[in-house]
Amino acid sequence: MLTLTEVVVPSEAVRVAQPQVQAYFETQLIGDGTLIVAESCVVWKAANSSNGFRLPYPSIIVHAVSVDLSSFPHEHILVLIDANKADLNVHEAEMNGDAEESGDDAGSEGTSYTIRFVPTDRSVLNTIYKEMSECQALNPDEEDEISDEEEGEGAVIEEEGPDMEAGGQRWYTADNIDEVELSEEGQANLRRIFGGMEERTENGTGDRHGDGHSGTRDDEHMEE
């Protein structure tokens, strides 16, 4: 479980300050608060409190808009976090296997967490995604070795044909995530997310509905 700590809300270069946003750590509801997307970091602060959490952009492995209600009951911003690059106060003993990790301890190599932001006003989802994408491009991870083609850009998915949803928006599930144009690391992280959702659904755990498949879309965009 994620324990909230006192956070400093950015006051400069703030792109989005969205109230009434629920935050989930894995499948566990943290509470309601304000989501701040600034050029320096992403901050979520609990309502009527100075506590929350901060996500530096280099800690964000993948973020996307998720609209598949069969895998999570609300449309939301899904964020996959590298635990080694985010200062989160996580108690692994209470996670019940929700975290996606290859080590035994929190922050060990390969540990990642899923955070979901669910705004009351769903119409702001694409705006939040867009601003996060632009701000992340301003904060490249110096440790990453990425190609010139990938540098500073998200994976742009431009598809046509019968698989397209109405309005030109395509769904991506565990069955077709290989079609998302991400790096090998990004693909592996998405597979872990989808696989973990399916496993928890089959075991009857987690806040899940439907067949355990999770879809993501952002008007044909996903950021890695």
Q: What's the pLDDT at 145? A: 47
- Cα-only R_g, the chain: 16
How many C-beta atoms surround the C-beta of residue 58 within 10 A? 17
Query: Are the beta carbons of 21 and 34 closer than 8 angstroms?
Result: yes
Q: How far apart (Å, rounded) are the C-alpha atoms in residues 118 and 116?
A: 6
Mean pLDDT of the chain: 74
Q: How far apart (Å, rounded) are the C-alpha atoms in residues 212 and 51?
A: 33
47 pLDDT more than 70: yes
Domain residue limits, the chain: 2-222
Average pLDDT of 156-175?
A: 41
Say which residue the tokens 């590298």 belong to.
82
Render pLDDT for 199-220 as a digit per residue (tens, 0 to 9). Answer: 544 554 444 333 333 344 444 3
Render pLDDT for 71-88 as a digit per residue (tens, 0 to 9). Answer: 899 999 999 999 999 989
Average pLDDT of 130-155?
A: 70
pTM over 0.75: no
Q: What's the pLDDT at 160? A: 39
Q: Taking Cα atoms as reference points, which of 9, 21, 91, 81 lies closest to residue 51?
A: 9
Q: What's the pLDDT at 156? A: 37
Average pLDDT of 35-63?
A: 96
CATH domain 2-222 topology: PH-domain like (2.30.29)
Element (H, E) at 193: helix 184-202
Chain-centroid distance of CA 147 in Å reads 23
Q: What's the pLDDT at 68? A: 86
Query: C-alpha angle 34/40/45, rounded to 5°?
Result: 20
Q: Taking Cα atoms as reference points, which of 202, 8, 196, 163 lies closest to residue 87?
A: 8
Query: Are the beta carbons of 84 and 109 closer than 8 angstroms?
Result: yes
Non-local CB neighbours of 200 within 8 Å, separated by 6+ positions? 27, 98, 206, 208, 212
| Percentage with pLDDT > 70 across the chain | 55
Average pLDDT of 112-141?
A: 95
- The number of helices, as runs of H, and strands, as runs of E, in the chain is 2, 14
